[in-house]
Structure 1
């Protein structure tokens, strides 16, 4: 049996289908419903990498008509979480978000694409703080937001019988 996560297995299955990225994104948003509020679209997923986009639409706007700061944080957390879930060896380790540091560099007045990426391959430790850098770009390819999301990685404990 493969040591690939269910998320990565699902991604590889769905991406071969018509509208596969859309279907995969719907599954992610069903599992974590709050992400659905911004209607994201996962573009790519592989070990150590995830990218997704959010359209510039009214539902994610703030009072000045640009993409809200919290929508940017949500997109960053979506990419980081999906990437970590697809990358951490699911049989031996688990993860949970621990903290986020966000930097708003410019108003976001276009669609926005997030990229979460960590160097691969890597060794997975127990009780490790993994800092996942996430960058958001507007459609002019300008960096508009950065975040460092700390994921707490631990080894799974064996269940006592």
Structure 2
């Protein structure tokens, strides 16, 4: 596999095509509106469920600020479809089961889980402007208050 360009602040998103619960998503499909791409470890886990609910509960505020929301994890589309239905999520979830996007955004980290080292997604959020340029990122974040912080940043670029 050839070297792939990684996402970087001030640069256009690297090229990708990814399956989601609402069809294929690419940087081109996101253009014209700002976009929040949030990476989370796993469907139906407590922190990830709370984060998805927070984005869901503020979704109309993001739309009003001309911003789309996209969740990304390594879960399958089937898992995403179930999670979407259970949580009434109005935005797409990308299945990155081969870790292509995780690599491009450098979100795979070694984490401690029950005393063991495991490879997993570091909870991270990326804000992209309407021209497809990465303008802000949050890494290793905590869920409480995060969606409000992202929404304020979105309003700042609108």
Q: Same fold (TM over 0.5)?
A: no
Compute the TM-score of the two structures, normalised by the length of structure 1. 0.27
Compute the TM-score of the two structures, normalised by the length of structure 2. 0.28
The structure with more radius of gyration: 1
Name whichever structure is richer in strand by fraction: 1
